[in-house]
Each structure stands twice: as structure tokens, then as C-alpha cells.
């Protein structure tokens, strides 16, 4: 049988408020079941929610930003 978490447990784990979790549920962003007036969320649904919002920034390029040291002079020093 699937185990379920309360909105408070999910909020604590994600570092957001219970109101945010409830808003995600109401807007359909996060799946839940309602038992006796209280929302319950499965571990799998929370995991899927997070995976669909995962971002990949990729490696940070080196030597091309505004704070990078200047490129060496191809003609050599002192030219």
C-alpha cells in the first residue's frame, strides 16, 4: 500500500508553507487525495512533482564572463 504525507510534512520537506502546497494542489500542479477534509500526498506524486520542475543549468563556462582575466596577447608580452 502507498504511504501518504500530510501537507505539513510535504511543506516542511520542501521548505515552503502549507499554503503553497495547498495552492499547488488546488491549481492542479500537485496531485493529492482528500480524506475527511484533509489532503494527503503520495511519496511518488511528490517525487514526480519535483522531477518535472527540475532544471539543469549545465557547467559554468570559464574565461568568458565580464570578470574573467583578459585573454593573453597572441603577439606575446611586450609587443
pLDDT beyond 90 at 62: no
Closest CA to 7 of 48, 15, 19, 26: 19
Question: Region 3-24: what's the mean pLDDT?
Answer: 97
Question: Region 22-50: what's the mean pLDDT?
Answer: 96
pLDDT, averaged across the chain: 87
Strand ranges of the sheet holding 33-35, from the earlier edge strand across to the other edge: 4-6, 38-42, 33-35
Closest CA to 46 of 10, 9, 3: 10
Q: Which segments of the chain does DSSP mark as H helices, in order?
A: 7-14, 18-26, 43-52
Would you say the pTM of this structure is higher than 0.85? no
CATH annotation of 4-52: 1.10.1660.10
Domain boundaries, the chain: 4-52
Amino acid at each position: 500500500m502507498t504511504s501518504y504525507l500530510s501537507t505539513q510534512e510535504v511543506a516542511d520537506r520542501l521548505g515552503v508553507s502549507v499554503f503553497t502546497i495547498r495552492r499547488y494542489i488546488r491549481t492542479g500542479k500537485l496531485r493529492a487525495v482528500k480524506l475527511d477534509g484533509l489532503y494527503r500526498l503520495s511519496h511518488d506524486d511528490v517525487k514526480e512533482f519535483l522531477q518535472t520542475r527540475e532544471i539543469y543549468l549545465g557547467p559554468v563556462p570559464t574565461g568568458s564572463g565580464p570578470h574573467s582575466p583578459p585573454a593573453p596577447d597572441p603577439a606575446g608580452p611586450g609587443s
